[in-house]
Structure 1
């Protein structure tokens, strides 16, 4: 396992360009279906793969959280993913993936790891509604392997929200900065249902109108429609939307490609684009700079997000990386 851990650690530090690297893993054989489903998580979110350490039980934890571990000075929750997904697995989990995203660490108990798969984002699709409902909404995207197996990419924002962050409470949004520029319309794209709800609540607290899309390709098509409507009415696009907020990881078209397309289209001149992602490493922020993003905000801090939105709407910002 040592060589495999080294491979994961090395690839986690890679800065890809418009491609996705997935760590494929299994939760074990489901006793109800007899199948061993394949799941995937972005390698950029994986810190290491390790044997399961001693877990300390803690009170008042969700049912899928086995407890806490201390790892190099960090106290992190450990989630049994099979329990979280509502699966009845024959054997107990054997190893743990240590993840870091949204500026938080979690341990995921799983059965086994398979390989690292590199693929184009256009091969990653939105899951069928039936599959998403069957897995309790935890699947945010799917892709098909050459051997016809389906890989289910997990919505890590949902796992984090349901096990570590209670973003449903109103006090989570108490410090959201009020809108400094009134009557603005914000366009945002995110494939995670949890993230879309979080963003919507933030914008509602700010008093903004908002329009959303579920992935990058849908966002680009909607933005082109808005631009065409602007041309017909002989108005600038900025009279319809005043800011664009985009996730990075999205099926069919990622946020880097979406941002590049927006910045290459003169019809969107003057409209700031903010990247909003659980991938908060410097390498990802540098990629955002390279495609022309005006700002990059790690998920999910509604107060920080509202402050950055206000700053960009007021025009008090230079392009990302040149501040």
Structure 2
């Protein structure tokens, strides 16, 4: 499936920014079908010989040598609480949060394109819902979209902590600044919130772009949004409305168009940086580096402080 998959990914990139989501569908058993974002997939291969690692996390079935690179292979079925499948025959090689890993699955199905508006948060009673970030339908089948960031956080542990120096810099500038964080992954929201708290910035949290746009429009009814909000930090791939469409919506609203938007996502690469420019976002930072995210927020804090100093009446003290 390798060459065909890469061709499908290339075609799928043309749909990004149009509120369409490209999913690679796969199965962990004979019943339920799952999906992950195509743009995170490097290749799909038949399971090669795996070298077991005695001290590895229980979800890691072993490591594989892929063209000279040692890649951990995670049993996705076991991560979602299923009985290990002896017939798991394929590995989906992905790049998430600047790391490469493989996910062991029973079978890979196809690539499909769905309207982001048809992608919804999982119901509370969905099986394995703690590891799902969304659900949608393709034809007559329910597709469960895996919260891969949560699986990786469980396997890899917490990312490196924020440096003390950056935390001090942030607290010296933060004042009463507030940031809107938009992400459908609970793990990702927690990671961003922790960084913002350490630099002394308050935050509001929402789950997707549609909820974020509604929140911002409600703020605009109360007065100038720039006076209430320092910036928006948004994921890209989300149900309801993706980060590209959210940014476009912000830029089209005269009350919101000057908001600073930082897109923060595990999707990386030249293509995504080009899309950031196309939709009018101010900056792109790949997940997840606490120091890099904090540095981006501090840069924005400094710019806001300078703007406040320039616009303050003569003799006024700027906080």
Q: TM-score, normalised by structure 1?
A: 0.87
SS at match of 1:284: helix
What residue number does 1:161 align with? 153
Q: Is the 8 A contact 2:85 2:106 kept in 1?
A: no
Check 1:58–1:91 CA distance in 2 against 1; reply closer, same or farther (3 A cut): closer
Q: What's the CA shift for 1:72?
A: 2.0
Does structure 1 residue 239 correspond to structure 2 residue 227? yes
Change (3 A) 1:76 1:100: same
Give 5+ residue unaligned stretches, structure 2.
305-319
- In structure 2, the CA distance between the partners of 1:114 and 1:8, relative to structure 1 (3 Å rule), is same
Query: 2 CA distance for matches of 1:85 and 1:314?
Result: 43
Give the gaps of 5 or more residues in structure 1.
30-35, 231-235, 317-323
1:185 to 165, 178, 191: 178
1:32 matched residue in structure 2: none
Cα deviation code 1:242-267 (max 9, x no counterpart) = 11111000001000000111111121
| 1:172 counterpart = 2:161 | yes
Whole-angstrom CA distance in 2 between matches of 1:268 and 1:228: 11
Provide closer, same or farther for how the CA distance between residues 136 and 124 of structure 1 changes in structure 2, counting only shifts above 3 A.
closer
Q: Deviations over 1:163-212 (max 9, x none)?
A: 12424xxx623457231343210011000000000011010101111001
How far 1:59 moved relative to its partner? 2.9
- Paired residues for 1:28-107 under 5 Å: 28-29=29-30, 36-88=31-83, 91-107=86-102
For the residue of structure 2 that corresponds to 1:160, the secondary structure is helix
Note the C-alpha offset of 1:143: 0.4
Answering whether residue 198 of structure 2 is matched by residue 201 of structure 1, we say no
Post-superposition offset of 1:136 = 5.3
2:290 corresponds to: 302
Deviation at 1:271, TM superposition (A): 2.3
Deviation for aligned residue 1:273 = 0.4
8 Å CA contact 1:272–1:313 kept in 2: the answer is no
1:123-167, Cα deviation, whole Å (9 max, x unpaired): 111111121xx31511101101222x1100111111211112424
Partner of 1:22: 23
1:283 maps to what in 2?
271
Aligned counterpart, 2:119: 124
* Contact preservation (8 Å) 1:28, 1:91: no
Q: How many residues align?
A: 296
User: Is 2:8 aligned against 1:11?
Assistant: yes
Q: Equivalents in 2 of 1:154, 1:89: separation in Å?
A: 17
Q: State the match for 2:210 in structure 1.
A: 217
Matches of 1:11 and 1:304 in 2, distance apart?
A: 32
Q: 2:239 corresponds to which residue?
A: 251
CA contact (8 A) 2:63 2:72 kept: yes
The residue aligned with 1:320 is: none
Superposition CA RMSD, Å: 1.7
CA distance in 2, matches of 1:128, 1:199: 24
Segments of 4+ in structure 1 off by > 4 A? none
Q: Partners in 1 of 2:32 and 2:113 — Cα distance?
A: 19
TM-fit CA distance, 1:24: 0.5
Q: Aligned equivalents of 1:305 and 1:13: distance in 2?
A: 29
Report the CA distance between 1:51 and its aligned residue: 1.0
Counterpart residue number, 1:152: 144
1:119 & 1:226 partners in 2: Cα distance?
31
